[in-house]
Amino acid sequence: MNRKTVFLLCTALLAACGPRELEPDARYECERCDEWNEPQEPFRVHGNTWYVGTDGLSAILIETDDGLILIDGGLPQSATRIDASIRALGFNPLNIRAILVSHPHYDHAGGVAAMQRMSRANVFSSETGALTLSSGRLGADDPQYVADTDEGSFPPVENVTAIGDGEFVSVGSVNVKANYTPGHTQGSVTWTWESCALNTCLDVVYADSLTAVSAAGFSFGNSGAADRMIESAGKIADLPCDILLSPHPFFFGMYDKLERREEGNPFVNSLACTFYAESALDWLEQRLKSER
């Protein structure tokens, strides 16, 4: 029996025996939920930084000397997966002290309410993101908002703390910086921190999505979202960046990198944030051409 098969069996057992409060409400189903929520074996990225998300949606665990920090919660259905992955690494999810959110969409914030209920952790987002998290419904200024529908809704989160641009969430000796990067949503945040191992400290960037995706009828050009995204892409490109992570693992090449782990740490790439920003701008340019 290979390592991945053992992990999948352990994940299934842990999820089945996990806290009942992690189970999602049946109404939060979506077309791609099963695909995005396939299990992914957790792994160390570098130093204090671990991947505990699913096959299609990132969740990042940061180990500190006074508890754990979790970034993003995937779908409502992902909470049991994330819980199982954290336990599989030998950590206790009850030691999560802070949950940080990249942007308040159902596929990244959906599991946050359940993880917060279980751990009693504080939840942090941008000022705009905090409003959406608290309501569980997209605001009218969100590119993916559809009027008069519950489309895109997720379990609301209680007691969300709004953190300002450039401010820090600190747990123990680890400080994670909030960098506002609106465009994909008004409340998007890119989170940055330092991760050290074997006397080597690297700058990790959890760059929020920069994809020009929207509901029908939304215009990135006319709404100002394009200008915000261009500015945010420049901000991400200029960040100190040794390791790039993002809400969707395929955007930082996770699958290919995992196949090259024996060659060293394939996640280390000082140009990754620049490439990420350039790719986003190419995508945006195509979107604006289609709008014209």
- Percent of the chain with pLDDT strictly greater than 90: 85
Residue 279 has pLDDT above 60, yes or no: yes
In the DSSP assignment, the letter for residue 266 is T
Question: Is the CB of residue 207 less than 8 Å from the CB of residue 222?
Answer: no
Structure tokens, 276: 């990420």
Domains in the chain: ranges and CATH: 3-18+39-291 (3.60.15.10)
Q: Is the dihedral of CA 37, 212, 155, 88 positive or negative?
A: positive
Q: pLDDT tens across 212-264, in order?
A: 999 999 999 999 999 999 999 999 999 999 999 999 999 999 999 999 998 88
> From CA 140, how far away is CA 156, in angstroms rounded?
17
> From CA 210, how far away is CA 127, in angstroms rounded?
19
What residues pair up with 109 in beta bridges, in sequence order? 74
Q: pLDDT tens across 106-126, in order?
A: 999 999 999 999 999 999 999
